[in-house]
Structure 1
Amino acid sequence: MKRLGVLTSGGDSPGMNAVIRAVVRKAIYQDLEVYGIYHGYQGLIEGEIKKLEIGSVGDIIHRGGTMLHSARCLEFKTEEGQLKGIEQLNKHGIEGLVIIGGDGSYRGAKALTERGYPCVGVPGTIDNDIPGTDFTIGFDTALNTVIDAIDKIRDTATSHERTYLIEVMGRNAGDIALWAGLAGGAETILVPEYNYNMEDIIARLKRGNERGKKHSIIIVAEGVGSAVDFSKKIEETTGYETRVTVLGHVQRGGSPTASDRVLASRLGALAVELLMEGKGGRAVGIEKNRLVDYDIIEALAMPHNIDKKMYDLSTELSI
């Protein structure tokens, strides 16, 4: 292999730039040429491809977002779109591709793999919902952003003696809500993986109020529903005054934590090593602090599981 490409796709996450940097510099160290593909699969189809040098990735390891930019691309879900992408790769002599992103990005990599094109998927998403890895790149940074917000909101909740509902991202996964809720001392955490009982939530609030507790924090994962709707139900049932904060895309931004930078660097380098060994169609990750790689088709078939013991613990500690 003499040339490889790298692209980022789907939602951005802190640490993507660190992956790009690792891919480019690891490849150049191994005497390979690296080409950046801008605007994800859409840019691949349209030929937005540029050779990257060592200096191209200087001063980016600490920056959030992605220097290659990102875009959604419905066309790449079609056979015609995929063939256009492969045509561009062949045109530039790119023999392997590192794809950084979440579930949708992996499905694009899977499609290329099934067409015989060597790809390696690197898990870049704040949602932490990619199978085959304990943590995705960007999750730790997003988690710390949410915890910082919870701490600030709790100050206000205490001052005004109100119940605050904080809606966090995560798509259909509750990892951000669970980890942030446990770290932030939330009284209730709602995640899509487990059913909730509105009566239990109300009863918990009333028990707290009876023992003199005048404020509460409830974390709502976006996959469960709208925090605004939950707020209305609580006010209608209890008469307690509530406030809602939807953190939104602030969770995706910011300088990546040290943990995310290290993980990104390790996984980016591993992706290059796999392609150099002629191993395409792989997905890299970390399990029990050990780097791993899976067949990307098999990885996508794995279920994403949330830590049940951690969820139970959060309930026990919020009595």
Structure 2
Amino acid sequence: MNIGIINFEMAPAGVNQLLHKVVSDLLQAHTVTGIRLDAQSGALTYKNFADENVAGTFVDFKNLLQLSTLPKVPDGLKELAEFDAVVMIGPQQAEASVKALSRMFDSTSCLFLPVSINQTIEGTDQPLGYDTAVNYMIDSILRIRDTIDSLKYPNPRLLGVQLEGSVSRQVLEEVAIAIGGHVLNHDFEENHLEQLKKSLKEDFDSGQTYAFLLFDERIDAERIPSKWMADIAIDWKTHKIDEALCMGPEPTARDRITAMKLAAGIVEWVRNDQASGKLLIKSNKVDVQLY
């Protein structure tokens, strides 16, 4: 079989490990081609993985596949009909394009693998890349805590930790639990704000000299001390966590395990010559949901 692989928009930690495993396994019996859609020209370029030195081990994890821009309409991907099967990796919003392509093709099957550093994938226990991203966020905040814990300010320090982009409520809440912080969601209501201020006052009245407040870019950081926290005596400072740094090259143990499970699921889907669908992890097992 002639197998194509394309990666849209996002490559969180674990994707490259997954690709090495999939390519090295499939090359034993199939032609495997990396595909890239150029954002400027809209042209597709190809890389025959048989010409690459792809080892089925963890020795060399050089990047195998460049990212492609997700097209607004899938017509630019009609050339993919020349493949027997295409594995498509990307964020949740890429699924609509994958479904459209699967309906467009007569004899080409498409397998969608949703990935995310947020818990925003429908139907999966935890998307590939999530655990590594959350670990990086927590480590970054704890390093700041080690510094400010030894410093004294005229007023208690409220450190706003702003996560880049639009972050799911679950990410904010889980990171806050891990570091003993507080959350301000972008769509907060007045009663939540009052409860937040009450909790912060309780922290400071107990002798705590600092607290963390987590939010994402949908909230203007400067409005927090000047508008919403104006009635609390605080020393305000912000720290921004770069989304790109949450997708580092070193996956956590959990993301490595998830990557290998998903890789095995992709290989099995190809070998069984299954119809189009998407690949998820449910109850710690790989689950192919056919369209």
TM range (shorter): 0.7 to 0.9
Kindly provide the CA deviation profile for residues 246-270 of structure 1, in whole angstroms up to 9, marking residues without a partner as x: 1023222241122212211211221
Counterparts in 2 of 1:43 and 1:277: CA distance versus 1, 3 Å: farther
Matched, 1:147 2:141: no
Matched, 1:190 2:184: yes
**Higher share in strand:** 2
| Residue 4 (structure 1) aligns with | 3
Kindly provide the CA deviation profile for residues 39-90 of structure 1, in whole angstroms up to 9, marking residues without a partner as x: x5759951211110385434995889953121434xx322xxx334222x24
Counterparts in 2 of 1:64 and 1:239: CA distance versus 1, 3 Å: farther
Counterparts in 2 of 1:170 and 1:65: CA distance versus 1, 3 Å: farther
Counterparts in 2 of 1:170 and 1:25: CA distance versus 1, 3 Å: farther
Alignment of 1:264-275 (within 5 A): 264-275=259-270
Matched, 1:247 2:236: no
Matched, 1:114 2:103: yes
- Segments of 5+ residues of structure 1 without an aligned counterpart are 297-319
| Of 224-233 and 96-105, the range deviating more from structure 2 | 224-233
- 8 Å CA contact retained: 2:6, 2:68: no
RMSD: 2.8
Q: Aligned equivalents of 1:154 and 1:27: distance in 2?
A: 46
Q: CA deviation at 1:104?
A: 2.7
- 8 Å CA contact retained: 2:25, 2:56: no
- 8 Å CA contact retained: 1:167, 1:220: yes
Counterparts in 2 of 1:233 and 1:258: CA distance versus 1, 3 Å: same
Q: CA deviation at 1:179?
A: 2.0
- The letter for the 2-side match of 1:185 is G
- The letter for the 2-side match of 1:242 is W
Q: Aligned equivalents of 2:143 and 2:169: distance in 1?
A: 22
| Residue 65 (structure 2) aligns with | 68
Q: CA deviation at 1:165?
A: 1.2
- 8 Å CA contact retained: 2:21, 2:56: no
- The letter for the 2-side match of 1:96 is A
| Residue 48 (structure 2) aligns with | 51
Q: Aligned equivalents of 2:40 and 2:97: distance in 1?
A: 13
Of 192, 200, 203, the match for 2:195: 200
Q: Aligned equivalents of 2:167 and 2:249: distance in 1?
A: 23
- The letter for the 2-side match of 1:9 is F
**Higher share in helix:** 1
Matched, 1:233 2:233: no
Q: Percent identity?
A: 23
- 8 Å CA contact retained: 2:197, 2:229: no
Alignment of 1:1-319 (within 5 A): 2-29=1-28, 31-38=29-36, 40=37, 42=39, 45-53=42-50, 55-58=52-55, 67-73=64-70, 76-78=71-73, 82-87=74-79, 89-90=80-81, 93-116=82-105, 117-160=108-151, 161-169=156-164, 171-186=166-181, 188-191=182-185, 197-222=192-217, 225-248=219-242, 249-295=244-290
| SS of 1:225 mapped into structure 2 | coil
- 8 Å CA contact retained: 2:8, 2:89: yes
| SS of 1:98 mapped into structure 2 | strand
* TM superposition score normalised by structure 2: 0.85
- The letter for the 2-side match of 1:240 is I
* TM superposition score normalised by structure 1: 0.78
